[in-house]
Structure 1
Amino acid sequence: MRSFISALLMTALVTVSFVACDNSSAPPAVDSGSKPKEQGRTVVPVDYSKGRAMNARLGKGINLGNSWDSDYKNCKDDNCWGNAIDDGDFKIIKDAGFNSIRLPVRWQRNSDRETHTVNPEILAGVKEDVTLAINEGLVVLLDFHHYVELNALGGGAHRGRGDSVALFQAEKEHFVALWSQIATEFEEFPDSMLAYDILNEPTIPNEGLVNDVLRSAYDAIRKASPGKTIMFESYNAAKFAQLSILDLPADGNIIYSGHYYEPYTFSHQGHGYACQGDAAYSNKAVSDFLGYAKMAMELYPDISGKDFIPMNMGEFGIAGRSGGECGDKAPSDEAKAKWAAETIKAAQKYNMSFHYWGFTYVGGFEAYDRKGKAWYPGFPQALINPQ
């Protein structure tokens, strides 16, 4: 359920209209407004052309959530996030005008902790779906999703509590080893059609541990996959504004991904927030993304002097009336689509790729009605051609 340019608006943002997957368009100029902050690192411009090329191919995407990322160990009903992917889903998504899918996978589920290997049934099933997607012409972003054990143990490890440090290190070792196998197994797919998202929504409350986990996994992936694009998310559940806590490698074939559900009082009604419907509508994506752009330009500039690390909006969406917890008191279909369109337009000003959360059966966020075999009102237009 993941760059920002030099010389901005002296006082206002220069408006440029283009599609996220159009790599020929330059984002509006962004001036960080200050010299790079002292972060204990040296700011070194990088040639991000390879990362930008993959970001353009990812373009407009959607998540296939609550499927391979589900956990059946404690099932008490027939659902348990049992959102099986149909072979025909990829054609539906491609025909709608999407360029890519994000495929969340709970790789640690039923894995072998002695040999540090992925469950063979999961591996085979994911490979089959990746093959189907690519054959349909969709680029695949393969994600390591819901590693709740690693995040939970990281909370204790950063405080040095009891055996938490040792347990965390063991879990980290398992995580890195699984990525080594995954990257090796999927190296058979073209670099132009498959990218990796290291860890969905890290919540380990410590900058050092987050960087250690991400960089260790990155090293394992890059060793097995020298040509594939690798995506980083930051902590506090992949908040764009947390780019500053990361220590990213000087690798031009990487992308920074953030998740955007602001404000949660509107997007997550029924998911821990009150049911207020359209009355809670708010969208500050224009100013928010400008801020993210300034930060990216400041910390990770491109050698061109007018660009920055490519960025992806890996998750965003609104829990509406379809399958949500608020029923008729949830945001309307019209407001849900309007918020998505406004958010995408703000992101596209900076050539961001995106992956909407999600396709179907994702707690009210879904864009497609599987039972009705049709897109919900306002979709997919709000995502493909936002007005």
Structure 2
Amino acid sequence: MKLFAAAWLGIVCFALSFPAGSAEPRILWEWNTENSSIPAGAELIRQPGEKPFLRVRGPEAPAFPIDGALLKGKMVTVEGVVRGEKLGQEFGDCLKLVPNYRPFDKYRENWGYRPGPPVPREKSGWERHAGSWRIPPYAGDFKLVLADAGKNGLAEYLEIRILEVPAPEPPSPGLNRAPLQKTPKYRGAMAGALKDEEDFRIFAEEFGGNLLRWQFLQGGPAVFQTTERYLAWGRDRIAELKQVLPYCHKYKIKVVIDLHRSPGEMNAINNNLGLWTAERQQAVVLLWREIAAAFKGDSAIYGYDLVNEPIDKVYDVRSDALDWDRFAEKLAREIRAIDPDTPIIVATSYNPRPINLPNIIYSPHFYEPGEYTHQGIRGRAMVGPYPDPSKGWNREWLRLMAEPTRQFQLKYNVPIYVGEFGVIRWAPGGAQWLDDWISIFEEYGWDWSYHAYREWSGWSVEHSDDKTIEQPVGDTARGQVIRKYFRRNQR
């Protein structure tokens, strides 16, 4: 994971200083010449006037063993200072944490250990690199891999550390005293570009859905420019939702307001990557104040979904920004100062932490197994059907993927809403995949919204399993599954 000065997120990469008033983060592990061994494939270099450093020549990718007991259950930032030639070529990231245990043996697919794409450079002076990982409580040991030399480059490293991102305050006891619902009340879909009343009528009366997760997404640039421009974009989204809310009232559809686009970089699947500066976070605060003021007291609003898929692998504990847990709580408190009643929805990871406020709904997204649900998208390989006994993919495997969320719910007595789940329409066995996942949500009493209603045809249950057919065909096996469960909605 790499953060470059001005080139990406505006993080200063050359100095190891902190924002004014910040405390030195706790060092969980560091390499130094006094008590650390030199991993195979690296050499220790001592030069007059310089600190000792490690040199790596590609294709070597030496690794330090890391005791998992130091990290598990924590969020950590890995940092180091690197220089060299032909950096980041072919082999990926520098300073990446790699689990020595098999993540698939325990719960959810471990997206947290997947580095971002490297940024190749022919030559660089000393630059600071940093990236963050959320380490699940069941984690085993790790390797810290020095892989920036790639196939035939040269990379030199010093100041290599693993820093702890301080955990939020523990939740107050009894924040949520109401019993957990045993049966979902709301079953629906994601949407965001519906304009005609007929789309809402069909969704409610013919499909039977009673919840739309409405995306604030379209109509604006992905890259943050100014706070004023972001707020102007957000006001346009508020106006669009206000235009269609009468249809939601008419057809008894609840609405999740989903801030799908934060003021920063997004990847191809709309993960929010660029949220991790104080300026951008303040822009989100200002927009949520306006959203809460605009929709406070509207009976159609199911909840405020703070930020869609905030990917904090590029968060840096030394930056001026808040990590997701603290930022989510800040947003929630800002909204509560304006709207004390509407539930607040917080995106969760495979290692969720509760927010110290009542009336919070926690929202995972389930696309596991990702290589199955996203096969054939943007050049991804076709991997075959679901279920697949040879891969262990079946309903019980899906239940295992949901287990951390279920245990989190039971531990803290909090409601769960599955904001997204979906399978590309041409994946063989998609109807069974949908049925298996929804049956788990029904068993646990989780409200849910599938991805997606009348958005891109690739996720549509009204389109054929045949990838070459672009026009909707109406009834499909996947659509029958959705309608079967929508019939359980009460009106």
Taking structure 2 as the reference length, what is the TM-score of the superposition?
0.53
Q: Paired residue for 2:176?
A: 48
Query: Of residues 365, 375, 379 in structure 2, which corresponds to 1:269?
Result: 375
Please tell me whether residue 106 in structure 1 is matched to residue 233 in structure 2: no
1:258-301 deviations in whole A, cap 9, x for unaligned? Answer: 00000011100023531133267434222222342123323x2x
Q: Paired residue for 2:78?
A: none
Partner-residue secondary structure (3-state), 1:143: strand
Mapping of residues 225-264 of structure 1, within 5 Å:
225-234=339-348, 239=349, 241-243=350-352, 246-251=353-358, 253-264=359-370
**Cα RMSD (Å):** 3.3
Partner-residue secondary structure (3-state), 2:246: helix
CA–CA distance in structure 2, aligned partners of residues 184 and 108 of structure 1: 22
Query: Of residues 275, 278, 287 in structure 2, which corresponds to 1:169?
Result: 278
Query: Of residues 208, 221, 239 in structure 2, which corresponds to 1:97?
Result: 208
Q: Paired residue for 2:336?
A: 222
The amino acid that maps onto 1:222 is R
Q: 1:148 to 1:344 in 2, by over 3 A?
A: farther
Please tell me whether residue 288 in structure 1 is matched to residue 401 in structure 2: yes
1:310 is displaced (CA, Å) by: 0.6
Query: Of residues 404, 422, 446 in structure 2, which corresponds to 1:317?
Result: 422
Contact 2:387 2:433 in 1 (8 A): no
Which structure would you say has the larger Rg?
A: 2
1:169 is displaced (CA, Å) by: 1.1
Q: Paired residue for 2:239?
A: 124
Please tell me whether residue 199 in structure 1 is matched to residue 307 in structure 2: yes
CA–CA distance in structure 1, aligned partners of residues 330 and 475 of structure 2: 40
The amino acid that maps onto 1:381 is V
Q: 1:40 to 1:122 in 2, by over 3 A?
A: closer
Query: Of residues 131, 139, 146 in structure 1, which corresponds to 2:254?
Result: 139
1:373 is displaced (CA, Å) by: 6.6
Q: 1:44 to 1:50 in 2, by over 3 A?
A: same
Kindly indicate whether structure 1 or structure 2 has the higher relative contact order, using CA contacts under 8 Å at least 6 residues apart.
1
Q: Paired residue for 2:151?
A: none
Q: 1:286 to 1:130 in 2, by over 3 A?
A: same
1:86 is displaced (CA, Å) by: 2.8
CA–CA distance in structure 2, aligned partners of residues 51 and 311 of structure 1: 13
1:349 is displaced (CA, Å) by: 1.7
Percent of aligned pairs with the same amino acid:
20
1:227 is displaced (CA, Å) by: 0.8
Q: 1:196 to 1:384 in 2, by over 3 A?
A: farther
Contact 2:227 2:280 in 1 (8 A): no
CA–CA distance in structure 2, aligned partners of residues 288 and 337 of structure 1: 19
Q: Paired residue for 2:479?
A: 379
Q: Paired residue for 1:60?
A: 187
Please tell me whether residue 339 in structure 1 is matched to residue 447 in structure 2: no
Q: 1:147 to 1:102 in 2, by over 3 A?
A: same
Contact 1:344 1:383 in 2 (8 A): no
Contact 1:107 1:118 in 2 (8 A): no
Q: 1:181 to 1:375 in 2, by over 3 A?
A: farther
CA–CA distance in structure 2, aligned partners of residues 271 and 232 of structure 1: 28
Contact 1:134 1:140 in 2 (8 A): no
CA–CA distance in structure 2, aligned partners of residues 138 and 386 of structure 1: 12
The amino acid that maps onto 2:176 is Y
Determine which structure has the larger helix proportion and give its number: 1
Unaligned residue ranges in structure 1 (runs of 5+)? 1-37, 68-83, 158-167, 301-307, 322-330
Contact 2:227 2:283 in 1 (8 A): yes
Q: Paired residue for 2:410?
A: 297
Please tell me whether residue 350 in structure 1 is matched to residue 444 in structure 2: yes
Partner-residue secondary structure (3-state), 1:354: strand
Partner-residue secondary structure (3-state), 2:362: strand
1:209 is displaced (CA, Å) by: 1.4
Partner-residue secondary structure (3-state), 2:376: coil
CA–CA distance in structure 2, aligned partners of residues 181 and 41 of structure 1: 28
Taking structure 1 as the reference length, what is the TM-score of the superposition?
0.66
CA–CA distance in structure 1, aligned partners of residues 360 and 347 of structure 2: 11
